[in-house]
Amino acid sequence: MSTQESLLKVQNLHTGFEIEGKTYYAVKDVSFDVKPKEVVCVVGESGCGKSVMSLSIMDLLPKHNGKIAQGEILFKGKDLVPLSDNEMNQIRGKDISMIFQEPMTALNPVLSIGFQLDEVLINHTTSKNEEIRRKSISLLQQVGISRADQVVNEYPHQLSGGMRQRVMIAMAIACQPQLLIADEPTTALDVTVQAQILELITKIQEEVGMAMLLITHDLGVVAEMADRVVVMYAGQVVEYTDADRLFYAPKHPYTKALLDSIPRMDETREVLNTIKGIVPSLKNMPAKGCRFVDRCPSAMPECAEIDPQLGEVEKGHAVRCILYDASHPEKEAEVK
């Protein structure tokens, strides 16, 4: 996994929020990479820092209190963290683009679809107005909107959630980016529409030949789409491997618990398995030890004492749990 072949390489990322004068880390020490044309899924419960991590990459954190405190985000070998707003504007929407969770609020209610779609092209190309409008219409057709030439003149409130998400996708792919970040793109949609949107995203991802960072909490989606998977818990990466090994040989107790809570066709169960408890909130994060300890079925007394490290258990499979020597800060050296 050398830098050259990674399109995006996140290293040691810490993103903090300032609340009442103190900094709390929503993302703590996250590292992973995305290769060209690859689909990497980030999974975890709500409140795990998945969205904050993806907003960090785009430099879209809330300006008044969110901040990348430490770490590097290398895109094609160039660190994005120190870039100014203007420099990021050259990259956002062109090389990296993003689809958000909430299509209902992600579009400006008082501007027409055409205006909002044209904007990406105006920002990043030098084409003439009529040419841009033609391109916008063809983009709408590409994302499966049938009345594209009418829809450009319509406003967001005239479209359904699924249509709006299609518009968002059209915006995201307008400049044929190399990386698409999709932050739970189907969560707010009807189940029937979810499948269509995912299918569309996959199709376009293959057509355009872009890499994708897909944030989701739906393991079904992961199974279908992912090449590799990053499992996050409480702001940290707890397991990082390829999709096959994640499903057939999960290592971290959290991953196992997540997989266990999927209902299965071949079993009759009265009650679904759940992971008891909730993700600790930013303010209640344990100061030391494993962050999953309170909810972990295999917790040991020392789990609350020792900070587990993300260690490579086997090639291409990293875990953060002291059940594995590679994660144990003292035993790690012996493994090597």
Partner 1 sequence: MLIYTLRRILTMIPILFLVSIVVFALALAMPGDALSGQINPANANPEYIEEMREELGLNDPIHVQYGRWIAGIVQWDFGRSVVHSRDVTQVIGDRLPNTILLSAVSLIITYILAFLMGRYAGRNPYTKGDYAIQGTNYLMLAIPSFVAALFAIFIFSFQLGWFPSTGSVGRGLEAGTLDFWISKLYHTFLPALVLGALVTASYTQFLRNDIIESSQKDYVRTARAKGTSESDIYNKHILRNSIIPIVTLFGFDIASIIGGAVIIETIFSYRGIGELLITSIQQRDSAVVLAVTLMLSVATLLGNLLADLLYGVIDPRIRVE
Residues near partner 1 (CB under 8 A): 58, 60, 62, 85-86, 88-94, 97-98, 100, 102, 105-112, 116, 119-120, 123-124, 155, 157, 168, 171
**Cα(201)–Cα(195) distance, integer angstroms:** 10
Give the residue with the Cβ less far from partner 1, 107 or 296: 107
Closest separation in Å from C-beta 334 to partner 1: 46
> From the CB of 81, what's the least distance to partner 1, in Å?
16
Tracing tokens 């050398």 back to the chain, one arrives at: 2
> Which of residues 94 and 256 has its CB atom nearest to partner 1 in the complex?
94
Helices (H) and strands (E) in the chain, counts: 12, 12
Q: How far is the CB of 65 from partner 1 (least distance, A)?
A: 11
d(CA 183, CA 72): 20
Minimum separation from the CB atom of position 304 to partner 1 (A): 38
Smaller CB separation from partner 1, 158 or 281: 158
Dihedral sign from CA coordinates of 151, 157, 160, 164: positive
Distance CA 272, CA 281 (A): 25
Closest to 53 in 3D by CA, of 15, 100, 8: 15
CB closer to partner 1, 36 vs 66: 66
Cα–Cα distance, 98 to 183 (Å, whole number): 7
Are the C-beta atoms of residues 37 and 227 closer than 8 Å to each other?
Answer: no
Closest CB to partner 1 among 113 and 303? 113
Nearest distance from C-beta of residue 105 to partner 1, angstroms:
4
